[in-house]
Chain A
Amino acid sequence: MAKIVDEALARSFGLSAEEYARVLAIMGRTPSLTELGVFSVMWSEHCSYKSSRVWLKTLPTKAPWVIHGPGENAGVVDIGDGLAAIFKMESHNHPSFIEPHQGAATGVGGILRDVFTMGARPVANLNALRFGDPNHPRTKRTVDGVVRGVGGYGNCVGVPTVGGEVNFHPAYNGNPLVNAMTVGIARQDRIFLSAAAGIGNPVVYVGSKTGRDGIHGATMASTEFGKDSEEKRPTVQVGDPFTEKLLIEACLELMATDAIIAIQDMGAAGLTSSSVEMAGKGDVGIELDLDAVPQRETGMTAYEMMLSESQERMLIVIRPDRQDMARAIFDKWELDFAVIGHLTDTGHIVVKHKGVVEADIPLAPLADQAPLYHRPIAETPKRAPLGYVASPLGMADAVMQLIACPDLCSRAWIWDQYDSTVGGQTVKRPGAADAAVVKVDGFARALALTTDCTPRYCAADAEAGAAQAVAEAWRNITAVGARPLAITDNMNFGNPEKPEIMGQFASAIKGMAAACIALDFPVVSGNVSLYNETEGKGILPTPAIGGLGVLEDAAQAVGIAPAAGLDLVLIGATVGHLGQSLWLREIAKREDGPPPPVDLVAERRNGDFVRGEILAGRVRACHDISDGGTLIAVVEMALAGNVGIDLLPRHEEIAPHAFWFGEDQARYIVAVASAAAFIAAATAAGVPATLLGHTGHQAHLTLPGGATISREAVQRAHERFLPAWMDNAGER
């Protein structure tokens, strides 16, 4: 404890000189080491959102069905029957780079706690993963560890992992993204918030014991990586999904009583952020006695305990007369339960350890005077239009190459390692539909869930790309027949101190906001991860969107697999936009042009029509058109349904490769019994619709030019990459 608190130490804790001066002004003296630790984590980018807050405030967050928007541990929306869906997505990027398995595992654990701390039983996990170039020496190890971590944690706690997305790009070589989303269900009259209340009420610590793990994790997550990032491994925590499972059950059991006044999980910045935020939101003071904190190690200092990010811990403000009953519940689940403090009227957080006051900080200025930056912005120049690009490859060869590429190949190798059925409510498993569908136990209704973002679009035009991410989430939910309700966002960007990165961020927020408004699809929770850079190289801007929708009757959900003997109808207008398409990258070997424009009016009109037809029972299968364009969507449907498909010749004035591989937005392919009536209804609704072809029992696909490809060959190509790369597995 011989460390001298001064500006140099403050800087090593991640505070700027100006920020440290502000600490001195608030305290009126030199802070203690523990106090400096509290300021540095609370004012870290990760906890304070100091670079992003001014922009986040501009996002639409309201709708009649929104019960709690951003500001709570997770977003809460009304899903009918007196029930609420509670959900959020959160990043664990930096830890997952340093130690992929534990980094990803604790990411899942953290987001689960954000959801059950509000009273919801977690019913589904999803994720959004971005990895580096498969040829980069580090990527394989990262993929292996992240998949094991995500699976290991989710499988053990018994929450099904039902969906997600994966991209590969060299921009993530030194900075993979692990964004984890949890969705839970609660009764609307049993939602728990974090604002502490009641002077004198006990503050209770439950869950795992505190160790020295993860100290300063939030600060680590707020800086770039250099060559020394490996040395940061001690800042990564280790997950214990078994304890998490017990914590879920114990908390839900306690939540069925009237004992809890406020509850918050100890996530980033552990005991510090949970106690500061609970007291701050409730406008009360809090006094903690660290001698009472359950400890896993001996000789821990106040500084270490306040900054530890040991996992699977919660802080609860409890009714004093319910303390014994609450303790009995945690005894039953064999978890620690310790009264470690009480609420006060001082407006301060006071931390005592071994009879000494180790910290005494006024809460109001700690929150109100937290740094807030209007960082300079440089807009990304718009990309020049692509112009005509000739096709270097025949259509059959292009299909075979595209369907096998890392960004389009089958993800089965990944989701086969995630338990997607535990709970017995999974209506549409990974790969079966554009959104996962999970029934609400005991009710007819179901949730539709998806995660989406196309980072290459965002890199070319962050505003259009972010709007596209929201639109695609909305479309995926629509494609199963569900009504989209709200999103959670996970904003992954580079160093915000660089104007071009801040420009990407600001543009992305603008694009998201426009799409959210046009689609009635507000943001109810989210997370920002900045400084995703290694040695000065930033990631592609990646505003990952987690979408949630509701189906009143789970039986109405449709998947992407058509039966034989149906007509395939293309919904939406096609102009053949190839800029930033996967065809352009994989076949023409170019990564340029603008991303496809997003017409939100058409998006809404087309989607509302498709959903109406699904709910009317006229659609047998539906698949949105995204990466790879129409032909890839058709192939995916053929593989999912195990059917042959006969595509009709086209007569548009669009080059065939642009028609079939262009990534125009607001489009779907639906399988219907009779195209004529369906197209007539679409036309009447002002929705472009055209017959693409038919499904049949044959074992091949017939391309519009008459060439055929065997479904088995396509399937082999589609399924080859991940097992071959990761497990050196031959074809099965």
Chain B
Amino acid sequence: MRAGIVVFPGINRERDMAIALEISGAKPRMIWHRETDLSGLDLIVIPGGFSYGDYLRCGAMAAQSPVMRAVREHAARGGYVLGVCNGFQILTEMGMLPGVLLRNASLRFLSMDCYLRVERVTPAYTSKFAQGAVFRAPMAHGDGNYFANDATLDRLEGEGLVAFRYVTPHGEPTLAANRNGSARNIAGIYSENLRVLGLMPHPEDLVDKLMGGTDGKPLFDSIAAAA
């Protein structure tokens, strides 16, 4: 897939994302937030960071940005969109994915490894994982507590749109494994057409043995392999 990474003022994990995509063979280009022409790109990645400082609600300012109108149109055309951390927050702010990301239940920033269970294997993002596979990923956020009303959560689960859940290393979705307090341990969700994916943790920071492991690499291998 030809990938582009959107850079808002205050975004800070664009380089991490580029490295991960490059290791898997994708060749991303950076998209400055004032750009509106996304033609020629299959996947738009909105990386982590603090867009506009997140001084308002996380992602609320970036959601109003010109480039995000283009991203919405890209998604409407059936294009792929991946939002990680602040990117996930921006996608929920825009309503491109349901629910919101609240302040962590502990009311503290959480930077640590978590374990994610692959809830659904999709062609674009998780084809290199086995269904139910558990992998480790760093997380680093203050507002990652996924929340939606019960009807929405039931629908997400019923339609198989939950992408990842926080679990123990053995794959159990326990309270203790759910450090930020997310509803039903949800760490990531898909849009109905499975082409828009948002998740809080950072698989892009675990794609090299030197940095502690390659647990996150299958995600990017899946992306690179997708047509």
Contact = CB atoms under 8 A, between A and B. Distances in A.
A246 interface: yes
A488 B172 CA distance: 46
A439 interface: yes
Nearest to A161: B111
B53 A424 contact: no
A96 to B, nearest CB: 18
Interface stretch (A151-159, A455-463, A667-675): A151-159
Contact of B109 (A417, A554, A555): A417
Given A421-B205, A727-B106, A333 B9 contact: yes
A427 interface: yes
A363 B205 CA distance: 50
Given A241-B53, A242-B50, A424-B16, A417 B204 contact: no
B114 to A, nearest CB: 11
Interface in B1-59: 9-10, 12-13, 15-16, 19-20, 48-50, 52-55
A245 B212 CA distance: 27
B9 A423 contact: no
B55 A417 contact: no
A245 B10 contact: yes
B9 A242 contact: yes
**Among B52, B110, B142, B176: residue with most chain A CB under 10 A:** B142
22 contacts: A151-B109, A151-B111, A152-B109, A155-B109, A156-B54, A241-B50, A241-B53, A245-B9, A245-B50, A416-B108, A417-B111, A421-B140, A421-B205, A422-B13, A422-B205, A423-B15, A424-B13, A424-B20, A424-B205, A425-B211, A555-B210, A727-B108
B217 interface: no
Contacts of B20: 424
Interface of A: 148, 151-152, 155-158, 240-243, 245-246, 333-334, 415-427, 429, 439, 441, 554-555, 727, 732
A419 B140 contact: yes
Interface string B131-144: 00000001010100
B53 A240 contact: yes
Contacts of B205: 421-422, 424
A175 B195 CA distance: 54
A421 B210 contact: no
B147 to A, nearest CB: 21
Nearest to A151: B109
A424 B52 contact: no
A158 B138 contact: no
A439 B210 contact: yes
A427 B13 contact: no
Nearest to A726: B108
B52 A158 contact: no
Contacts of A441: 15
A648 to B, nearest CB: 32
B220 to A, nearest CB: 12
Contacts of A415: 111
A410 to B, nearest CB: 13
A422 B16 contact: yes
B10 A156 contact: yes
Contacts of B55: 242
Contacts of A158: 12-13, 49-50
A367 B112 CA distance: 48
A427 B9 CA distance: 27
Contacts of B12: 156-158, 245, 422
A685 B52 CA distance: 57
B117 interface: no
B202 interface: yes
Nearest to A446: B210
Contacts of B140: 155, 419-422
B10 A424 contact: no
Contacts of A155: 50, 109, 111, 140, 142
Contacts of A727: 106, 108
B216 to A, nearest CB: 11
A421 B111 contact: yes
Contacts of B53: 156, 240-243
Contacts of A333: 9
Given A334-B9, A429-B212, A418 B15 contact: no
A240 B10 CA distance: 11
The 7 A-B pairs at the shortest CB distance, nearest first, are namely A158-B12, A242-B53, A424-B16, A419-B140, A156-B50, A421-B205, A421-B138
Given A245-B10, A421-B211, 20 more contacts: A148-B108, A151-B111, A155-B111, A156-B53, A158-B12, A158-B49, A242-B9, A242-B10, A242-B52, A243-B53, A246-B10, A420-B140, A421-B202, A422-B13, A422-B48, A424-B205, A424-B211, A425-B211, A429-B212, A554-B210
Interface in B65-124: 106, 108-112
Nearest to A554: B210
**Among B52, B109, B111, B205: residue with most chain A CB under 10 A:** B111
A140 to B, nearest CB: 14
A416 B210 contact: no
**Among B15, B108, B110: residue with most chain A CB under 10 A:** B108
Given A424-B15, A424-B19, A417 B108 contact: yes
